[in-house]
A and B are shown apart, each in its own frame.
Chain A
Amino acid sequence: MDSITLIAIASIATAGLTIALGSIGPALGEGRAVATALSSLAQQPDSATTITRTLFVGLAMIESIAIYCFVVSMILIFANPFWNHVIAQAAGK
């Protein structure tokens, strides 16, 4: 198997696997965060604005992990330096 095929297979498989595995953790974490926020809202409705704001900030931080995985996956598909390198080599030959 020559290097072009190998790089293509590795990039495609890793891109799919990255985003698939990388979304599991943040999704579970966000579910737990929202559940706890809802129960504390039920216990203390007066501090609803504080709880909601803190919930959103926390959700954004958890979401960033999924965003990192998405960015890596996009780089592997669209801006892959190894792929560009072998394509340039093949075009030069």
Chain B
Amino acid sequence: MRLSSDEMIFWQGGFLKLNATIVFTWALMLVLALGSKLATRKLSTGLERSRWQSLLEIVVTGIEKQIGDVGLQQPKKYIGFLGTLFLFVALASLCTIIPGYEPPTGSLSTTAALALCVFVAVPLFGIEEQGLGGYLKSYIEPTVIMLPFNIISELSRTLALAVRLFGNMMSGTMIIAILLTITPFIFPIAMSALGLLTGMVQAYIFSILAAVYIASATRVRNPRPPPAASIDA
């Protein structure tokens, strides 16, 4: 019984191994990039829009609103990174309907790579927003004694991101595989539907958590002076 799709090898040349994770990741990237390119060929701002443009508008404005709700000012700066995270993980789980497909997020390599992207992006956005000194000062924020705990919490929440997504995806595919060998067909179908639901929820959770981490790294620390209240006597 396979633990992850890393072990399904399609082609091997020398030390280069083309396993299922890489093939399906590139297939997803191709679908996302080509789909967006085709849908945005003739953009219009009038009343006549193609339905693909409407779909993309719904998705983009939805993500932007969610990012704004989390507390990030200027959502447009972060929507490239966070939107891509959400769309990749969501499409990876959505395509489990297709027979013969193994979600690449069911392999610890993919989820660790995504979590590392978030781990690198949070200081990048924080430094861009507050300067290097301001961002580093946030590590000793309540007192200096908190410095090791802040560093440990950074590392552990990255690990948690990776393991959470991996565990959810891997358990979904594994339980369907186990059920297929012992029960009639209706139970694996029900578990497949449950796997779809948890896949979507985990995609949302991954991007919202990334947004929350970026928001906590970029929030303005010096409080604004209160507006002068003038009371006409």
Contact = CB atoms under 8 A, between A and B. Distances in A.
B5 to A, nearest CB: 14
Given A63-B164, A64-B160, A64-B163, A56 B3 contact: no
B205 A70 contact: no
Interface in A21-37: none
A56 to B, nearest CB: 7
A53 B208 contact: yes
A25 B73 CA distance: 37
Q: How extensive is the interface on chain A, given as a class?
A: 10 to 19
B133 to A, nearest CB: 31
Nearest to B209: A57
B164 A60 contact: yes
Interface string B22-62: 00000000000000000000000000000000000000000
Contacts of A67: 163-164, 167-168, 171
Interface string A45-84: 0000110010011001101100110110010001100000
Contacts of A64: 160, 163-164, 167
B108 to A, nearest CB: 9
Contacts of A79: 3
Contacts of B168: 63, 67
Given A50-B69, A53-B69, A60-B205, A68 B3 contact: no
B118 to A, nearest CB: 15
A3 B3 CA distance: 25
A30 B171 CA distance: 19
Interface string B50-82: 000000000000000010010000000000000
A83 B171 CA distance: 22
A71 B66 CA distance: 31
A53 B205 CA distance: 9
B167 A68 contact: yes
B134 to A, nearest CB: 27
Contacts of B132: none
B1 A78 contact: yes
Contact of B163 (A49, A53, A71, A78): A71
11 contacts: A49-B69, A57-B209, A60-B201, A67-B164, A67-B167, A68-B163, A70-B167, A71-B163, A74-B174, A78-B1, A78-B3
Identify the 4 closest CB pairs spanning chains A and B, nearest first.
Answer: A67-B167, A60-B205, A64-B164, A78-B3
